[in-house]
Every structure is written in structure tokens, then in C-alpha cells.
Amino acid sequence: MNIKFVTSRHHGDLAAGLDKSNIVTIHWLLQDGKAKRTTQAIVGQNLLQVAHSNDIDLEGACEGVCACSTCHTIIEDALFNTLDEASEDEEDMLDMAFGLEETSRLGCQVIVTEAFDDVVFKLPGATRNFYVDGHVPKPH
């Protein structure tokens, strides 16, 4: 299988150090709630990296440091229940996310595993960006 990964928003290799032959197929339900995309994801990447590698419009304003909610992604129940629990920092950011659902997570905090194969990830209809609007995260 010949797969091309495009890095359009970030510099560098979004899969550096990972086994690029260890891939799963995932599906995205886009912000309009209708359009779908199917992409490949490398096991070990986070969902934000997968999105950016495939020109999926998932913002990621803080570039994956858990300091915004613009990478908010809604996960299918069956997979959600198998994930490690969100950290307190992630929960704090999720509290500010637009369209929060029971199975909401921050895409930058969710690492792809083999269990992600054929799962649908839903992108909310909007994002709320406190990070670039003056929100200053507290130091840990």
C-alpha cells in the first residue's frame, strides 16, 4: 500500500519515530454534520496530528499542549469507553469546548491505537478559542 502523508500546517514529520507501516483507517464526520472523510492514521500519532496530516480542518490553536479546546473531537461510545481517562487539564479545557458531548475529548490528547480502525470521529460544528482570545493557562 502506498500512502502519502501531507504536512500542510506543521513543520516537520508528524509521525517521526513511529512505525509508518502500522496504520489504521479512520473516518471523520466533518463540521457540517454531513460530509465524511476517510483517512489513514499511524498508530502512535494523536488525532490532531492525523487530522493535520490529512488536511482535516481541526484547528489545534495551542499546537497540542492541552491549552485550548479547538481540537475538540467526539468519539464513538465503544472506543471512548476503552480510552484512558482524560487528565484534569484536558477536562478543564473540555469544559470550555463548544458542543461538548459525553464522549468528547481533545484530539491532541488521544493517541491512535489498533482499536481505532474503522471508527468515526465527529468534529463539532464550531470551536471556542480562548487560547488566542487572551486566555492564559495556569502553570502546573
**Does position 66 bind ligand FES by CB under 6 A?**
yes
Binding piece for ligand FES, criterion CB under 6 A, among 1-9, 59-67, 94-102, 115-123: 59-67
With CB atoms as reference, the residue minimizing the distance to ligand FES is: 108
Binding piece for ligand FES, criterion CB under 6 A, among 9-17, 20-28, 63-71, 97-105: 63-71
- Integer CA distances (angstroms), 116 to 11, 28, 55, 93, 131, in order: 25, 12, 19, 23, 29
Q: Where are the alpha helices (DSSP H) in the chain?
A: 47-53, 77-80, 88-94
Which of 18, 29, 30, 61 is close enough to bind ligand FES by CB under 6 A? 61
Give residues 7-46 in contact with ligand FES (rule: CB under 6 A).
Answer: none
Distance (Å, whole) CA 36 – CA 15:
23
Which of 15, 42, 47, 48 is close enough to bind ligand FES by CB under 6 A? 48
**Does position 123 bind ligand FES by CB under 6 A?**
no
Does residue 92 sit in helix, strand or coil? helix
Selection from 3, 47, 6, 5 nearest residue 27 by Cα: 47
Q: Which residues of this chain interact with ligand FES, rule CB under 6 A?
A: 48, 60-62, 64, 66-68, 70-71, 93, 106, 108
